[in-house]
Chain A
Amino acid sequence: MFRIALKMLFGDRTKCIILLSALTFSSLLMTEQSAIFCGLMRWSTALLQNSNAKIWVVDPQVEQINETTPLRDIDLQRVRSVKHVKWAMPLSWTIIQAKAKSGEFLQIQLIGLDSSTLAGAPRNLLEGSLLSLLQPKTVIIDQLALERLSKRKNSSIDLGDVFEINDIEARVVGVCKTQRHFFNYPFVYTTYPNSLQYRPKQRRMLNFIIAEPHEDISPKVVAEQIQKETGLKAFTERDFFWSTIWWVFENTGIPIAIGTTIILVFLVGLCVSGQTFYSFVVENIAHFGILKAMGLSNKKLIHILLIQAFSVGLAGYGMGIGLASLFGWSVLYKGFPPFYLPYELLFIVFASIVSICLFSVLLAARKITSYEPGEVFKQ
Chain B
Amino acid sequence: MNSQEIAVHIEHVYKNYTSGHSIVHALKDISLDIYKGELIMVVGPSGSGKTTLLSLVGGTLSFNSGEISVFDNPLHTMTEEELTLFRKDHIGFIFQQFHLIPTLTTAENVAIPLLIHQVPWEKALKKAEETLEHVHLFDKAPCLPKELSGGEQQRVAIARALVAEPRLIICDEPTSNLDATTGKKILEILRSIANGSKRSVIIVTHDARILDYADRIAEMDDGAIKEIHT
Residues 56-96 of B, flagged 1 when their CB comes within 8 A of A and 0 if not, give 00101100000000000000000001001111110101010
CB interface residues, A 181-217, toward B, < 8 Å: none
**By CB atoms of chain B within 10 A, which of A3, A298, A373 has the most?**
A373
Q: What chain A residues lie within 8 Å of B81 (beta carbons)?
A: 297
Is A294 in contact with chain B by the CB < 8 A criterion?
yes
Is A4 in contact with chain B by the CB < 8 A criterion?
yes
Q: What chain A residues lie within 8 Å of B86 (beta carbons)?
A: 295
Residues 347-379 of A, flagged 1 when their CB comes within 8 A of B and 0 if not, give 000000000000000000000000011101111
How far apart sit A372 and B84, CA to CA, in the bound complex (Å)?
Answer: 11
How far apart sit A185 and B85, CA to CA, in the bound complex (Å)?
Answer: 72
The verdict on A286 contacting B99 (CB below 8 Å), with A7-B108, A296-B116 known, is yes
How far apart sit A296 and B93, CA to CA, in the bound complex (Å)?
Answer: 13
Report the minimum CB–CB distance from A179 to chain B (whole Å): 52
How far apart sit A56 and B84, CA to CA, in the bound complex (Å)?
Answer: 69
How far apart sit A16 and B90, CA to CA, in the bound complex (Å)?
Answer: 35
Tell me whether A377 and B95 are in contact (CB under 8 A).
yes
The verdict on A376 contacting B99 (CB below 8 Å), with A1-B116, A295-B113 known, is yes
Is A253 in contact with chain B by the CB < 8 A criterion?
no
CB interface residues, B 140-167, toward A, < 8 Å: none
How far apart sit A4 and B112, CA to CA, in the bound complex (Å)?
Answer: 8
Tell me whether B51 and A295 are in contact (CB under 8 A).
no
CB < 8 Å neighbour of B84 from A1, A4, A7, A297: A297
How far apart sit A297 and B89, CA to CA, in the bound complex (Å)?
Answer: 13
The verdict on A7 contacting B103 (CB below 8 Å), with A290-B93, A295-B113 known, is yes
Report the minimum CB–CB distance from A347 to chain B (whole Å): 33
Residues 1-43 of A, flagged 1 when their CB comes within 8 A of B and 0 if not, give 1011001101110000000000000000000000000000000
How far apart sit A202 and B88, CA to CA, in the bound complex (Å)?
Answer: 88
CB interface residues, B 18-59, toward A, < 8 Å: 51, 54-55, 58
Tell me whether A290 and B99 are in contact (CB under 8 A).
yes
Q: What chain B residues lie within 8 Å of A376 (beta carbons)?
A: 60, 93, 95, 99
Tell me whether A372 and B60 are in contact (CB under 8 A).
yes
Is A106 in contact with chain B by the CB < 8 A criterion?
no
Q: Which 6 A-B pairs have the closest CB atoms?
A: A11-B103, A295-B88, A374-B61, A374-B60, A374-B55, A373-B60
